[in-house]
Chain A
Amino acid sequence: MLKLKLRTPGMFALATLVALGALTLPAERAMAQSVGGKAFGTFVNASGVTAQSPVAALPETGGYALGEAQTFGVPNTVDAQWLTAVTTGDVDNRKSNSQSTSELEAVSVLNGLVSADNVTAIASSYRNAAGAGSNADGSGFVNLVVNGVPVTTDVAPNTRVTLPGAGYAVLNEQTRTGDGVTSSGITVNMIHVVLQQPILGLLGQVTGYEQVGEIVVGSASSRVN
């Protein structure tokens, strides 16, 4: 058995202080230590083509990143102009923040099955002494048209629409992560198309659908932890 010999009261006091210090984490070290952010205009994986517009990616220690293109297009799949993706964020011992934006203009998906004059995705996350949170406020469309029908109101998060002959799309798709206390994150995809083809049975009847590709337009994500 190991025996400690503390020869003087001063040594005992010092040992006590060292022990207490080892057991107690300074409050600052318990705060957020990293951030994340990413934004891009479009991603396509369809008909053997994989393509993505320039990506803005935030370092874990924070900073500023930009990805942009004047035009982006994949024939019969997606067309867009003025793609701008920006992500910024910072970390210190007391608080952290990350915010990403992605915007495009003159957007057309699947030869106009989904179109909009402007698509804007915004993902914002923060952490401070009161907790952590994320939101997609400011995300939206200008003059959105789906299946030839104008959409005149803001699109609620995770709105699913059928795209006849192609599959379906999730509009204003939002996915959240984190516990809301020590971490928080959100990913926003303003147009997420899932391309499908039917699965046929022995008699040629449709028994289901399988995914054969996807298209993402207007993506922004942010996180703090």
Chain B
Amino acid sequence: MHMRHANHFTFVPGLVAAVLFAASCRDAAAPGSLERPSFGGKDHGGGGANFRLTGGGRVDKPGANLGGAEDPTGKNTPDSRDFATFGFQARPSGSGSTSPSGHITWVEHNPNAFGGGFTFHGRVTSFDAPADHRGEGAVCGRFSGVGSGRLRNGVPFDNVLFIVDHACDKAEPGVRNDHIYMIIFALNYDRAGILTGGNIQWHKLTGNGA
């Protein structure tokens, strides 16, 4: 692990990242738990992916769409910065393959998050198809990789692992239907939610994975 108090730090991935998480040397970022959120439903299997995903939009505070919505879409009230926005493109390199390509940008606006919030840019290095944990027949992708970014306190970071545990396309429009779960272990950060803006869409792969 390589965590300095200078104005730049680099995280070594893998086991070291897990140690960093266990050390908890920073405030926990909203919403807190790094366990998969419980949505109910049943798994419908998963495995290698024969599709690609694109998406972009917004997720608000936990529970905004689970009984605590302030408005029909679950978006926060105008005095709240407890939300994140994102945009991504992710795919395996060929039909049924788990080799990667793609990118993600994730912006956390909550001032109580690590570093006062952050902007993160990730490069996809793995992709597969997890089960739809909500049992709603959504097409879900899971992808991960490494990335870099900058905290709102100005400190940059790089070589950080990220995992999009699931990005699920249930229906159009994506608001109130699609959902996403982002984890950045080195920042002790995760956020999961049903979209309050934007859309996630799966597309079939062509024969060459394009």
A52 within 8 A of B: no
Interface residues on A, range: 35 or more
**Across the interface, do B78 and A101 meet the contact criterion of CB distance under 8 Å?**
no
In B39-94, the 8 Å CB interface with A consists of 52, 54-58, 71, 73, 75, 78-81, 85-89
Check B54–A97 contact: CB distance below 8 A.
Answer: yes
> Complex formed: what's the CA distance from A88 to B199 in Å?
10
Contact residues of A between 142 and 176, Cβ < 8 Å to B: 142-144, 151-154
Known: A126-B173, A143-B78, A154-B78. A87 touches B196 (CB 8 A): no
A139-B196 Cα distance, complex, nearest whole Å: 9
User: Which residues of chain B are near A118, meaning CB under 8 Å?
Assistant: 81, 109
What separation, in Å, do the CA atoms of A89 and B203 have in the docked complex? 10
Report yes or no: A137 in contact with B73, Cβ–Cβ below 8 A: yes
In the complex, the chain A residue whose C-beta lies closest to that of B176 is A137
CB distance from A101 to the nearest CB of B (A): 5
Main secondary structure on A side of the interface with B:
strand
Residue in B73, B79, B152, B204 whose Cβ sees the most chain A Cβ within 10 Å: B79
Task: Check if B87 sits within 8 Å of A87, measured CB to CB.
Answer: yes
> Considering the chains assembled together, what is the distance between the CA atoms of A21 and B83 in angstroms?
52
Given A66-B105, A120-B85, decide whether A137 and B197 contact each other with a Cβ distance below 8 A: yes
Give a binary string over A65-106; 1 marks a CB under 8 Å from any B CB, 0 the rest: 010101000000000001010111111101101011101010
Q: Which residues of A contact B79 (CB under 8 A)?
A: 142-143, 152
Cβ of A142 and Cβ of B81 under 8 Å apart? yes
Residue B56 contacts which of A70, A95, A101, A151 (CB distance < 8 angstroms)? A101
Q: Cβ of A140 < 8 Å from any Cβ of B? A: yes
A154, B71: Cβ atoms under 8 Å?
A: yes
> Which among B150, B195, B197 has the highest number of chain A CB atoms within 10 Å?
B197
The answer on a CB contact under 8 Å between B58 and A138 is: yes
- Choose among A62, A92, A144 the residue with the greatest number of B CB atoms under 10 Å from its CB: A92
Q: Which residues of B contact A92 (CB under 8 A)?
A: 203-204
Minimum CB–CB distance for A30 against chain B, Å: 17
* B150 CB contacts on chain A under 8 angstroms: 70
Contact for A138 among B54, B57, B78, B87, CB less than 8 A = B57
Name the A residues within 8 Å of B55 (CB-CB). 88, 99
Within 8 A of A (CB), among B100-131: 102-103, 105, 107, 109, 119, 121
Check A122 against B203 for contact (C-beta < 8 Å): no
Chain B residues contacting A117 (CB-CB under 8 Å) are 81
B80 touches A90 (CB 8 A): no
> Is there an interface contact between A103 and B56, defined as CB atoms closer than 8 Å?
no
B interface residues, tally (CB under 8 Å): 39
B78 and A124 contacting across the interface, CB-CB below 8 Å:
no
B198 touching A84 by the CB < 8 A rule? no
Which of B80, B88, B199 has most chain A Cβ within 10 Å?
B199
Known: A88-B56, A92-B203, A152-B78. A124 touches B119 (CB 8 A): no
Task: Assess the A99–B78 pair: CB atoms within 8 A.
Answer: no
Known: A103-B107, A153-B78. A95 touches B57 (CB 8 A): no
Say how far A66's CB is from chain B's closest CB, in angstroms: 6
Nearest-neighbor residue (CB-CB) of A116 within chain B:
B78
Residues of B within 8 A of A (CB): 52, 54-58, 71, 73, 75, 78-81, 85-89, 102-103, 105, 107, 109, 119, 121, 150, 152, 172-175, 195-199, 201, 203-204
- Closest 10 A-B residue pairs measured CB to CB? A138-B197, A86-B87, A99-B56, A138-B58, A97-B201, A64-B89, A122-B197, A137-B175, A90-B54, A126-B172
Seed contacts A66-B87, A88-B55; 20 additional CB < 8 Å A-B pairs: A62-B89, A82-B152, A84-B107, A86-B105, A88-B87, A90-B201, A92-B203, A97-B54, A99-B56, A122-B197, A122-B198, A124-B173, A126-B173, A128-B172, A138-B75, A139-B197, A140-B75, A142-B80, A142-B109, A154-B75
A-B contact pairs, 25 of them (CB 8 A): A62-B89, A63-B89, A64-B88, A64-B103, A66-B103, A84-B107, A86-B56, A88-B54, A90-B89, A90-B201, A99-B87, A99-B198, A100-B87, A101-B197, A124-B173, A124-B174, A124-B198, A126-B172, A126-B201, A137-B75, A138-B195, A140-B75, A141-B78, A144-B78, A154-B75
